[in-house]
Structure 1
Amino acid sequence: MQAKQLFLTGFFLHISLLLCAQKIETFNLSGYVKDSFGKPIAGATISIQELDLGTTSDVDGSYQFLKLKQAHFSVRVSSVGFHSDTRKINLATNTNTFLDFQLRRDEKSLDEVSVVGKTLNQRKVQEIKQSGYAVNVIDLNTQVDKVADLNQLLRRSPGVTIREDGGMGSDFSFKINGLDAKIFIDAVPMENYGSSMTLNNIPVNLVDRIEVYKGVVPAYLPTDVLGGAVNIITKRRNKQFFDFSYGYGSFNTHQASLIANMRDAKTGLMVKADAFFNHSDNNYMMYSNPKYGINLDGYFKSFVDEETGIVQNQLVKVDKARRFHDAYTSGMGKLEAGFENVKWADRLLFGLGYSENNKQIQMGSNIKSVYGGRWSENKFLTPSIQYRKNGLFLPDLYVDIFASYGDSRTDVRDTAKYIYYWSGIPQSNGTFKDEAYDQIVNKSYIAKTDFSYNLNKEKSQVINLSYNLSTNQQKNFDLMKTEEYREINSRPKRLNKHLINLAWQGQWLDEKLSSVVFFKYYGMDNSYTADERKYDSEGNLIEGDVVKYDNYKDYKSGGLTLRYLLKKDIGIKTSIEKSYKLPSVEQLYGNVVYVLPNIDLKPEEANNVNLGVFYNGYFQDKHFINLDVTTFLRNTNNYIQMVSAGNYYRYSNLDGARLYGIEFDAKYGYKDLFRINVNGSYDKAIVTKLQTDESIDPAASILHKQLPNRPYLYGNVDISIGKNDWLGMGTRIELTYMNQYTHKFYMSWENLASQSTKLYIPNQDVHSAILSYSWKHNKYGISMEARNFTDERLYDNFGLQKAGRAFYTKLRMSIF
């Protein structure tokens, strides 16, 4: 393990030194274009008339001119909706010159914004903002100095709940408004990248922004979930770019990330490399808390019974214990090569990714099941190809095609011969445990096509057709069983999903009204082999056979989104959809690590309704106020929930549930000096149908009762104070305070136990702070973070405790 850490750290440093050691024979001009509030302005035009040169700012507002000749000239920056700015400059030889621009908003021109000349990405963003989707956008270019992973940032978004079993690398569930949500990376399902590429692994430096859709999802994100979807947009620059970061903190936590991008402007040839490395011992302290039913079993103590004289063993409980078998290590490397912005393609990329992780498993589904020798290891390889072209065959036809293959191999082993409790000392009852060795082989295929056609020259009427095929074939091998057993029970379990989405997006009434009408077709094809043989006590076959099952089911749905602008800065949104959530491979077939199979699991279905109002106000180019309020209703059948099953979990259906609630997100900012963000969510989940095997006794019935073991009231407060150029030109120092609150909730049905014996997760009020400092115009950065500095006891699933107080620091270097 140490050898891997040293190798990866050395690799990162070697690349850094090579790039830094290149002799600069000419000089460069670069910088950022931002608004008065410090937000990047993408697509701004930067021109040097004396040299007849021009470029546009990137997604993060950055621009660059390379290999310029020495000269006196003027740099002009302009962007629709902002006042232009021109500055004179005198470049010195053999130096890099930084020149940042901060443009003032031009309220008069905001009504004349045109999409002419904008990049495809910018047009996508504008389409999203002008649509009726309930969506939040998180800009990660302001978060690059934080040690946090994407889990910690996303869970601060209204309506989002992320429940983890422990520290880094732990299993987690992700929901939006209480329902399962799909996660995409650049519009490709995240599971396509392997188990190392998860929300609690991806560093913030690899990502530009995150789009969080609630309920209804755009057509170019083909998905079959009810809660919504998250689209993670990774960093992609049309220039030379290099970014490296390294963080270290509590529990021997290491996090490193690397992005390198090279592009030749003449030929369009582009090479991009991404890599990250994570490690944590996760050896934080656990505490007993009898008030909430949390008791740590420490060890067995032997004593002689005074009455019988017989030696007895007593299980002794301890007040606290340190996790001792929970280390996690993961790494990922991805290389892409191809062409961008050439005549015959906007993008043609060939990619190859490899990831690997090693995870020690400390617990099962609760604190009573403690492991001392159980671990899993995964290796994942995926080649891919992507082609994009705007104006293929027809001037107004846009095509996006993506295909990939994934080969995943997971070994799950338990080599401990003894029983373990929280003392970490092996315990023996006179016998040895049998070694366990399971292997999971999963091969997956994804094919995704997206066609968009503009019906008029104004591009106000667009037809979109997308098709997505995903295939997963899973084999489970129990390597401790006989060959005959393995031959039958390791036969492939296959799940194919087909999703077709046809959408019509329109702008009406001088773009005051925006609408999207869509229709979806879902197809699910699954096959598996079941051993239904029965034997007598002597091993003779009584009845049954090994049977292969093949099933195909299809479903149809549709929906509508509307957005109407009452004024240019205030509007209302609504969206309606009948949707389906097809079971995943893990939910159907289990994963031998912690989830048991349930092949009888049915798809969820729901009628989704969202209604919201939004306001975006700017005053004197100094103050901004953003306010979003959304209400939602989800009437679901066959609601899929995770339930505890001994030391494991199992997914099961609840016949009917109604989820409803309200959420708000309010932001205020003064220039680039002060920002405050407050959001809150309230979502209830009520049982609407009796279970088929449930008693009608009103006292024992769960009808009309709140679903247990799920948070329903939660919120966040973020306050930032910062100052530019305080410690010198090109510097910024910022202090951020963060608070996260989750109201208490019951772990079991509220009416099925006495008040004194009900177990519940207590109120949780988490306080964190980050101090960051950047210099050389954001080329270098350092941050220090105190996470949960009041040492709050944190729990998510079934009383499993997460880490307490922790401290982290991070260094970042960006070269472009």
Structure 2
Amino acid sequence: MLKIFATIILPHIICFASMAQSISGIITDEQGEALPGATIQLMGGTKGAATDMGGRFLIQELTKGKHRLKISAIGYDSQVVELDTRTQETQTLNIKLLESITSLNEITITGKSEATLVREQAYAVSVVEAKTFKNASTDVNQILNRVSGINIRQSGGMGSSFNLSLNGLSGNRVRTFINGIPMDYFGSSLSLNNFPANLVSTIEIYKGAVPIHLSSDALGGAINIITDTRPITYLDASYSFGSFNTHTGALNGQWHDKKSGLTLRVKSFYNHSDNDYPIDVQILNTETGKLDDEYTEVKRFHDAYDSKMAWIEVGIMNKSYADELMVGAVVSDNYKELQQNPYATGTSAYPVGEATAQSDIKIINLSYRKKNLLVENLNTRAYAVYLDSNEEYLDISANQYDWFGDYKPDVHPTTGELGRKTHFYLNRKNFLANANAEYAITAQHNLSINYSINRLELQGHDDYQPQNNTQFSNPNLTNKQVIGLGYTNNALSDRLKTTVFGKSYHYLLQSNVAEYDGEDTELFETKEQKIGYGLASTFFLKTNIQLKVSYEKAYRFPESYEMYGDGLNVIPNPELIPESSNNFNVGMRFNSISERSNQYMIEVNGFVRDSRDYIRFEPRLNRSTYVNDKSVLAKGIDLAARYAIASQFTIGLGGTYLDLRNNDKSSSLYGDRLPNEPFLFGNLILSYQKANLFMKSDQLSITNTNRYVHDFYLKWPSLAAQGKSTIQSRFTNDLQLTYSLQEGRYNLSFLVSNIMDAKVYDNFNQQNPGRAFNLKLRYFISKN
């Protein structure tokens, strides 16, 4: 603790107390991304500084007068700045450096940020840098919902179930990763809507074709959350509180010793909400047995949610034998009160007042990466993860509740509130491992190979349901293995980049399926092997105009609960078969390169998803199931545009049109839009920021986020017997104000979401929260 105080806090206290002339500022690239390691040199003198990982610098104890500063960074054009320190004690600079291209013996060296390099890949990929959201009261889901092509449907407030759609494909077809590790079976406490922005460095969104290092049976894209692994020492702490008794906190930090490479890393979060927001319901008239024609506003009363996580890693960084070698442990748990059946359509007449779900998770992880392992240009990375989780579902109450929180005792003594009485315990054991190697034969030719394994065992018992005891008494096994090979070619002085790849999928599922009475059981075994392949190519017409095209033949295998039920509300369908898709993407990215004051970016992406044996969920309360649709075709376009004026005003626009239809010509539903799938949505984001507003090194940011989702069908449109009910369109407006002091060390943020208190109905026509307020405090300090 004394070392941290001496190396981090004390220097800042000293510099704050100093009254000598000083110069501070932030150095960024032309896209506003911080440039760590940039040098600022006082010309004609010996004083200077280097920027930290946030691009910040400070030069103190300058004499009064005129000075010339030279700002330099590898791969960028240098700048010389003149200033006069006689006018004020401290001056603040915000400098943008332009990328430089220098030819040395026919070798082109271009300075680019990591995010820029990912964007310039041949794949259809978007990159979100979470640093702009770290002060906001937001989670990963809310960040992703701003990305064109993505729509996230939620069934309620914090901790509710959600469905993420990416360019027409949703659910398990889009795989999520954290630092390249699949999150398929990490459980609800480690889902995307639990991770606060503080834990995230960048998010990569692959639309369509997925590179082989993200190894899984991803049918329609992948989302990779990358946490902060920079070799620095830092502390990042935040706490927020808001409407509906919502509290979130995060404490993250890292200690890194440059000499030994020893590194200790901690990441943690805590989330809680009562979720007692008002909703409109049709009250059941107990005398007539009918629902009232008029709606009554009530508060949700049994919908509280808690989740927390602590992740500790220790290891070494930046050594000759490893760029990073870390071993870690994760503990996480959550608790959820159930207000109604999670698969209910609309609002239930009888709310749930006592049923709950909870889980606890323990994870051990090992990660390794090294560039130039043993030989030049051989880059390797690997991980191994073991997960042990316990889930508990409790539904044994015989009481019948109404929407005012009152109940009648012992109304249904033989059943619970959601169906048959259950007190179900389920244990998951999951082992994941991945090894990846890339070798650059020459500057133009690169080979890569990847192997991954994902093995899951499920076992459990139920105090009330013999069916679950029979089905889960012996382990149910899912084993997936994927081998990937890739080749990348750079041609035409790196203007043309092409990657071809193949994936070999191996799948084994063994499960016991019990009859409804729980007396008999049958062992099902499914083995599958598939070959997938794809191509991704990009061509730079100019430095700032990039064309992309990609294709992948992709597969996804049914999850065990899709085929054999979850022991609760999903009934088995062992006849499910793997789904496949031919995924096509064509896109263009255009951005400014020379404008110093105004910058702009336009990105457009067209896509086609031609899917076979599409696995679709059919909600039927406690008899829900998964089915195969023979053929589903998705076509669409998404657009993203951004315009920045003088580094202060920014306008961002994103929109998606999706045509997702049943494509089985032998079906009576041929040509119908798929139910419960939005087809037109977008957002408009306006932001303003002003530095040195009230004092030196402060900054005020104001962001207005507008989100629109057009109305869409809840059920198949052509089934008149079910009615052509729709989920109504919605327009929401959020306003966030953030004030930062001392170059981002102290931060205060205030958020008003859904300012107009619009009625928001979303997944399965569930009503989401209305207007809400939130205040967030964040403290961040770092040392290179």
Please indicate, yes or no, whether the TM-score normalized by the shorter chain is above 0.5. yes
Match of 1:698 in 2: none
Q: Does 1:330 align with 2:307?
A: yes
Residue 453 of structure 1, aligned match among 439, 450, 453? 439
Match of 1:211 in 2: 204
Residue 356 of structure 1, aligned match among 333, 337, 355? 333
Deviation at 1:192, TM superposition (A): 5.5
Query: Counterpart of 1:151 in 2: which secondary structure?
Result: helix
Q: Which has the larger displacement, 189-198 or 766-775?
A: 189-198
Match of 2:684 in 1: 717
Matches within 5 A, 1:21-32: 32=26
Deviation at 1:184, TM superposition (A): 0.9
Counterparts of 2:453 and 2:569, CA distance in 1: 28
Counterparts of 1:638 and 1:351, CA distance in 2: 40
Counterparts of 2:165 and 2:174, CA distance in 1: 5
Deviation at 1:280, TM superposition (A): 0.3
Deviation at 1:486, TM superposition (A): 2.2
Match of 2:429 in 1: 443
Counterparts of 2:547 and 2:770, CA distance in 1: 41
Counterparts of 2:612 and 2:32, CA distance in 1: 46
Residue 606 of structure 1, aligned match among 576, 581, 589? 581
Which amino acid in the other structure matches residue 804 of structure 1?
G
Query: Counterpart of 1:267 in 2: which secondary structure?
Result: coil
Deviation at 1:480, TM superposition (A): 2.0
Counterparts of 1:631 and 1:488, CA distance in 2: 45
Q: Does 1:479 align with 2:463?
A: yes
Is the contact between residue 260 and residue 273 of structure 1 (CA under 8 Å) also seen in structure 2?
Answer: yes
Matches within 5 A, 1:639-650: 639-647=614-622, 649-650=624-625
Q: Which has the larger displacement, 724-733 or 432-441?
A: 432-441
Deviation at 1:36, TM superposition (A): 6.1
Deviation at 1:84, TM superposition (A): 3.7
Q: Does 1:812 align with 2:748?
A: no
Is the contact between residue 75 and residue 89 of structure 1 (CA under 8 Å) also seen in structure 2?
Answer: no
Counterparts of 2:58 and 2:566, CA distance in 1: 49
Query: Counterpart of 1:726 in 2: which secondary structure?
Result: coil
Matches within 5 A, 1:610-649: 610-647=585-622, 649=624
Q: CA RMSD in A?
A: 3.4
Query: Counterpart of 2:577 in 1: which secondary structure?
Result: coil
Deviation at 1:643, TM superposition (A): 1.4
Counterparts of 1:789 and 1:619, CA distance in 2: 38
Aligned length: 754
Match of 1:285 in 2: 278
Matches within 5 A, 1:394-473: 394-428=375-409, 430-434=411-415, 435-456=421-442, 458=443, 460-473=444-457
Post-superposition Cα deviations, 1:58-102, rounded to whole Å, max 9, x if no partner, equal 3x435799xx99999988542423434579999xxxxxx999753
Q: Which has the larger displacement, 787-796 or 49-58?
A: 49-58
Deviation at 1:203, TM superposition (A): 0.6
Post-superposition Cα deviations, 1:402-426, rounded to whole Å, max 9, x if no partner, equal 0010001011102422012322211
Deviation at 1:299, TM superposition (A): 6.1
Post-superposition Cα deviations, 1:468-495, rounded to whole Å, max 9, x if no partner, equal 100111123212246x972564221111
Deviation at 1:381, TM superposition (A): 0.2
Is the contact between residue 345 and residue 388 of structure 1 (CA under 8 Å) also seen in structure 2?
Answer: yes
Q: Unaligned 5+ residue runs, structure 1?
A: 1-13, 91-96, 289-295, 302-311, 536-540, 695-700
Query: Counterpart of 1:798 in 2: which secondary structure?
Result: helix
Deviation at 1:442, TM superposition (A): 0.5
Residue 744 of structure 2, aligned match among 778, 785, 788? 778
Q: 1:488 to 1:298 in 2, by over 3 A?
A: closer
Counterparts of 1:104 and 1:114, CA distance in 2: 25
Is the contact between residue 613 and residue 628 of structure 1 (CA under 8 Å) also seen in structure 2?
Answer: yes
Counterparts of 2:448 and 2:563, CA distance in 1: 32
Q: Does 1:39 align with 2:33?
A: yes
Q: 1:116 to 1:443 in 2, by over 3 A?
A: farther
Q: Which has the larger displacement, 187-196 or 679-688?
A: 187-196
Deviation at 1:534, TM superposition (A): 9.2
Matches within 5 A, 1:694-709: 701-709=668-676
Is the contact between residue 514 and residue 522 of structure 2 (CA under 8 Å) also seen in structure 1?
Answer: yes
Match of 2:502 in 1: 519
Deviation at 1:775, TM superposition (A): 1.0
Q: Which has the larger displacement, 325-334 or 146-155?
A: 146-155
Q: 1:316 to 1:571 in 2, by over 3 A?
A: closer
Match of 2:635 in 1: 660
Residue 530 of structure 1, aligned match among 495, 513, 516? 513
Q: Which has the larger displacement, 102-111 or 356-365?
A: 102-111
Query: Counterpart of 1:789 in 2: which secondary structure?
Result: coil
Counterparts of 1:69 and 1:395, CA distance in 2: 45
Counterparts of 1:62 and 1:236, CA distance in 2: 19
Residue 504 of structure 1, aligned match among 480, 487, 494? 487
Counterparts of 1:48 and 1:231, CA distance in 2: 41
Is the contact between residue 75 and residue 99 of structure 2 (CA under 8 Å) also seen in structure 1?
Answer: no
Counterparts of 1:475 and 1:387, CA distance in 2: 31
Which amino acid in the other structure matches residue 326 of structure 1?
D
Query: Counterpart of 1:803 in 2: which secondary structure?
Result: coil
Q: 1:497 to 1:406 in 2, by over 3 A?
A: same
Q: Does 1:345 align with 2:338?
A: no
Query: Counterpart of 2:760 in 1: which secondary structure?
Result: coil
Is the contact between residue 118 and residue 127 of structure 2 (CA under 8 Å) also seen in structure 1?
Answer: no
Q: Does 1:747 align with 2:709?
A: no
Deviation at 1:625, TM superposition (A): 1.2
Which amino acid in the other structure matches residue 136 of structure 1?
S
Query: Counterpart of 1:147 in 2: which secondary structure?
Result: coil
Residue 221 of structure 1, aligned match among 214, 220, 232? 214
Counterparts of 2:740 and 2:385, CA distance in 1: 39
Deviation at 1:225, TM superposition (A): 1.8
Deviation at 1:45, TM superposition (A): 4.9
Q: What is the TM-score of this pair, normalised by structure 2?
A: 0.89
Counterparts of 1:258 and 1:98, CA distance in 2: 32
Match of 2:20 in 1: none
Is the contact between residue 46 and residue 78 of structure 1 (CA under 8 Å) also seen in structure 2?
Answer: no
Match of 2:730 in 1: 764
Deviation at 1:106, TM superposition (A): 3.6
Deviation at 1:461, TM superposition (A): 2.0
Deviation at 1:550, TM superposition (A): 2.5
Q: 1:36 to 1:448 in 2, by over 3 A?
A: closer
Residue 792 of structure 1, aligned match among 747, 750, 758? 758
Is the contact between residue 141 and residue 208 of structure 1 (CA under 8 Å) also seen in structure 2?
Answer: yes
Match of 1:133 in 2: 123
Post-superposition Cα deviations, 1:716-737, rounded to whole Å, max 9, x if no partner, equal 0000112111111111112111
Deviation at 1:588, TM superposition (A): 3.0
Q: 1:98 to 1:478 in 2, by over 3 A?
A: farther
Q: Unaligned 5+ residue runs, structure 2?
A: 17-23, 416-420
Q: Does 1:151 align with 2:138?
A: no
Which amino acid in the other structure matches residue 27 of structure 2?
V
Match of 2:96 in 1: 104
Match of 2:55 in 1: 61
Q: 1:659 to 1:485 in 2, by over 3 A?
A: closer
Q: 1:192 to 1:797 in 2, by over 3 A?
A: closer
Residue 161 of structure 2, aligned match among 171, 179, 195? 171
Counterparts of 1:36 and 1:775, CA distance in 2: 24
Deviation at 1:649, TM superposition (A): 3.6
Deviation at 1:574, TM superposition (A): 0.4
Q: Does 1:260 align with 2:253?
A: yes
Post-superposition Cα deviations, 1:452-511, rounded to whole Å, max 9, x if no partner, equal 10111x3x32111111100111123212246x9725642211111111111111210011
Which amino acid in the other structure matches residue 142 of structure 1?
T
Match of 1:389 in 2: 370
Query: Counterpart of 2:143 in 1: which secondary structure?
Result: helix
Counterparts of 2:516 and 2:340, CA distance in 1: 34
Deviation at 1:197, TM superposition (A): 1.4
Is the contact between residue 445 and residue 470 of structure 1 (CA under 8 Å) also seen in structure 2?
Answer: yes
Q: 1:117 to 1:801 in 2, by over 3 A?
A: same
Query: Counterpart of 2:213 in 1: which secondary structure?
Result: coil
Post-superposition Cα deviations, 1:218-257, rounded to whole Å, max 9, x if no partner, equal 2221122222111111122322100111111110000101
Counterparts of 1:467 and 1:274, CA distance in 2: 28
Counterparts of 2:291 and 2:672, CA distance in 1: 37
Residue 704 of structure 2, aligned match among 725, 729, 737? 737
Deviation at 1:634, TM superposition (A): 1.1
